Structure 1
């Protein structure tokens, strides 16, 4: 049973961190380590995490010396990771109990170095929003180029195949850049076609602000891909087309389907 390293950046997450850790402890797959890297929280996030870690040696808590953003926190966790597989879980999101078991078995059985899954959305209070985010069953690099179909809380990759992939220093949308790096190498990826996690939509988050999302996505084309202004604007046109006409096909109303 291979070790899975779970990288969790945290910042002022005292309301959610215990439940997030509990969702990892509830996994049916038991060979994991959870590496929590705190980005100078000013609330009780660290004390809560350290209290739980004192009773579970699979959980390790580290603190950054200065507030540096989630990219630096994730890279710090990556440096500490010992697992064959790398997975990510932010400090306010949740995993379903069989998440790791299903994904690790899927990777083994299909001889794959990377996979992800569908996920459901919850609000800040943890109430399900009856919204499921799915993805193409054979996700190509070009599809990902115009839309990040991979939920950060669902991705898992094989270190023996890719090595440890450093997170971009760009402060936002690091997850999309990571998956683009992976898809550029493997050309396509197959998701687990079921929901294995809960993504929490918080007030004032990037995912809740369409304008901020557009701004940061434009930054990916400009700074990560290195495109000039005209090329980046053209890419954003493709991005907007995907958001308006294609991606809605992969957003499901779970209440209506019951």
Structure 2
């Protein structure tokens, strides 16, 4: 679990992890506070959960590196990630382990609900799907890393998150993992994703920059598998429209028009891009 020690929910998040019905869970808390900045909150957390939690510090390397650093200390056969403002429900890990064993797969994505900063439920995000690459370019099974449970070998074979990303590293990892083997998303709602404006991952300009980096990294796949790539490309163009970035909106559209997608799909994408260019304020609210 990466943190900069600012989440007022950190104790609640840890309590939820320790309430899991799965019998053996190792918790690694990664302090990603910059420099030598000491976190009194993390010290108190370490004291509170003495002998039940391992606290390590990175010195402020950024979210992908913090996750990689923490994963390096893991001793179990499975890896799961939890952000410091997300709440796992008690049966999450037990269900995911059982689902992977039954399906004979190595990567499970759990369904979740969305909760506002003041605790209001904003609805469920549920899918029942098993897919591989290039279907994964649709992002239909994608969910934040707090959803994930995977066999540790998958993480190690992929060498973790790409640390050149300071946002959107989760989508990149998801795509790379799907190129190796199928991903399963199934089950009832198993955790709560909190929209917290102070979270590490919520920065719209950073999100735009690294989504553009994502589509450049996977450019060849997008061109080859254009029909499937509509998912990853529509999210990218919505970000450029939300930022009123006409140059990059045109750049994203031009790239997709080079793809193997059908004429009908390309036409849809152009109309979609034009719509969000006009209603950029609405786009900004949807991607914030």
Structure 2 length-normalised TM: 0.69
**Residues 44/131 of structure 1: CA separation in 2 closer, same or farther (3 Å cut):** farther
Q: Superposed, which structure 2 residues align to 1:147-158 within 5 Å?
A: 147=139, 149-158=142-151
**Residues 159/236 of structure 1: CA separation in 2 closer, same or farther (3 Å cut):** closer
Q: Superposed, which structure 2 residues align to 1:214-253 within 5 Å?
A: 214-222=208-216, 224-225=217-218, 227=219, 239-241=232-234
Q: Which residue of 1 aligns with 2:197?
A: 203
Q: Which residue of 2 aligns with 1:48?
A: 44
**Contact kept in structure 2, 1:206 and 1:212, CA below 8 Å:** no
In angstroms, what is the RMSD of aligned CA positions?
Answer: 3.0
**Residues 73/212 of structure 1: CA separation in 2 closer, same or farther (3 Å cut):** closer
The equivalent position to 1:123 in structure 2, one of 112, 116, 121, is 116
**Contact kept in structure 2, 1:17 and 1:48, CA below 8 Å:** no
1:62 correspondence with 2:56? yes
**Residues 205/49 of structure 1: CA separation in 2 closer, same or farther (3 Å cut):** closer
Structure 1 length-normalised TM: 0.77
Give 1:189 shift: 1.8
3-state DSSP of counterpart to 1:120:
strand
The whole-number CA distance in structure 2 between the counterparts of 1:30 and 1:45 is: 27
Unaligned runs of 5+ in 2: 239-267, 269-288
Runs of 4+ residues deviating >4 angstroms: 204-212, 234-238, 242-245
Give 1:215 shift: 3.5
3-state DSSP of counterpart to 1:203:
coil
**Residues 238/197 of structure 1: CA separation in 2 closer, same or farther (3 Å cut):** closer
Q: Which residue of 2 aligns with 1:111?
A: 104
Q: Superposed, which structure 2 residues align to 1:1-258 within 5 Å?
A: 8-40=1-33, 43-54=39-50, 57-64=51-58, 66-125=59-118, 127-135=119-127, 137-147=129-139, 149-160=142-153, 163=156, 165-169=159-163, 170-186=165-181, 188-203=182-197, 212-222=206-216, 224-225=217-218, 227=219, 239-241=232-234
**Residues 70/47 of structure 1: CA separation in 2 closer, same or farther (3 Å cut):** same
**Residues 142/160 of structure 1: CA separation in 2 closer, same or farther (3 Å cut):** closer
The whole-number CA distance in structure 1 between the counterparts of 2:233 and 2:89 is: 31
Bigger fraction of residues in helix = 2
Greater relative contact order, per chain length (Cα 8 Å cut-off, separation 6+): 1
The whole-number CA distance in structure 2 between the counterparts of 1:206 and 1:51 is: 24
Give 1:53 shift: 2.4
Unaligned runs of 5+ in 1: 1-7, 246-258
**Residues 162/209 of structure 1: CA separation in 2 closer, same or farther (3 Å cut):** closer
Give 1:238 shift: 5.3
Q: Answer with 1 or 2: which has the greater Rg.
A: 2
Give 1:205 shift: 5.5
The whole-number CA distance in structure 1 between the counterparts of 2:48 and 2:20 is: 16
Give 1:209 shift: 6.2
**Residues 158/116 of structure 1: CA separation in 2 closer, same or farther (3 Å cut):** same
| Residue-pair matches, total | 229
